[in-house]
């Protein structure tokens, strides 16, 4: 697959990070397929509407969201983006700051890349 497609997916990942920093559910939701699923580091599973509702209500806010060391693998209309993610903010009134391995699966739907699945694994390295 072309370097342009990989660059586009990296741009999308960084744009999604910026949307998370703005804590704007509509902006965040633009990058997710309707059936998006997130698997947390504890094995929990949530969907798009549940996740966006946490942000909409203010229960979850971010003041740090970064993707580093991205590896993009493209398979026609499917792509896997693996990164070292740093996120921080507030969840249920408690501060958090974590470094995670993030694996996201994107599918091209109607000409637009949308994330269908995100899996988070906590890393011991907090740098």
Nearest-angstrom CA–CA distance, 57 and 55: 5
What is the model's pLDDT at position 126? 54
What is the model's pLDDT at position 2? 81
Nearest-angstrom CA–CA distance, 29 and 20: 10
Which domains, from first to last, does the chain contain? 3-122 (3.10.450.50)
Phi, psi torsion values for 32, nearest 5 degrees = -110, 140
pTM metric for this prediction: 0.93
Q: What is the CA radius of gyration of the chain?
A: 14
Span 60-71, pLDDT tens digits = 999 999 999 999
Give the residues of the chain that fall short of pLDDT 70: 1, 125-127
Nearest-angstrom CA–CA distance, 88 and 63: 6
């Amino acid at each position: 697959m072309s370097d342009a497609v990989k660059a586009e997916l990296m741009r999308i990942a960084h744009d999604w990070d910026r949307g998370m920093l703005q804590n704007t559910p509509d902006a965040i939701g633009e990058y997710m397929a309707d059936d998006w699923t997130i698997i947390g580091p504890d094995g929990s599973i949530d969907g798009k509407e549940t996740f966006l509702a946490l942000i909409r209500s203010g229960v979850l806010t971010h003041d740090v969201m970064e993707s580093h060391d991205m590896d993009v693998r493209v398979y026609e209309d499917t792509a896997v983006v693996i990164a070292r993610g740093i996120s921080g903010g507030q969840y249920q009134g408690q501060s958090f700051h974590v470094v995670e391995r993030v694996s996201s699966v994107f599918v091209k739907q109607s000409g637009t890349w949308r994330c269908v699945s995100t899996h988070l694994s906590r890393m011991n390295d907090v740098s």
